[in-house]
Amino acid sequence: MSIAEQSQPAGLQTRRRIKFTRKRLLIMSGLALCVALVLGVGGFSFVAAQEEQDSFCASCHTQPESTYYERSIAAQLVDLATAHKHEEIRCIDCHSGVGLVGRIEAQMMGAQNALLWYTGAATQPAPLKYAIGDDHCVKCHADVTTEQFDLAERSKLFGPRGHYHAYLAQWKETDPQAKANCTTCHSGHDLGADAKSTWLVPASAEPTCEACHAVLDEP
């Protein structure tokens, strides 16, 4: 402390010290906030860029995802996911919702999975916790919501094209307990379907058909 400061009243010295301390705390807090913001945005951008590559997704997800990834890079189309891959559609395109909010939600889910993986708490084979919602599919396939029932155009397994989409809304309105969505019939990774059947897997689609007809066929 200088001689000039020593000659000042003790109360004035204390107020100046408090003022200086507050100013320094504000500056330090501001700097810390800026650093956190830069790291957060940078980290999000880095992970978002990495998630554009299916190989990055498969590097953490072991089973069953590694099997799905190996299928996707094979020449043969064996499930709905491989068919999408050959159209240059990536894992993240289906596993994130609509717009920025949907992408952030996918990032948060990825962060949770990464934490479990790197702490050794991940369960293998990985259980399905976050099913793909209809909005994930409709963002690219909005045309199916207006698809009309067409007797002339038939799928290989399930009869006239479009009747399941045409009556799905009616089924849900008639039976509030009805549980069906896009992936109920068009499962992304299940085997046993092909393009001619529009990737409808009989094991999952047939019970859904029966449940719908049980309600709508009633007199």
The pTM for the full model equals: 0.66
Looking at residue 149, its pLDDT comes to 61
Looking at residue 173, its pLDDT comes to 87
Looking at residue 2, its pLDDT comes to 47
Looking at residue 92, its pLDDT comes to 85
Looking at residue 103, its pLDDT comes to 81
Q: Where are the domains of the chain?
A: 11-50, 54-130, 132-219
Q: Residue 177 and residue 187: Cα distance in Å, rounded?
A: 21
Averaged over successive runs of 10 residues, the pLDDT of the chain (219 residues) comes to 51 60 76 76 61 73 81 86 90 86 80 76 76 87 72 59 76 86 87 83 86 81
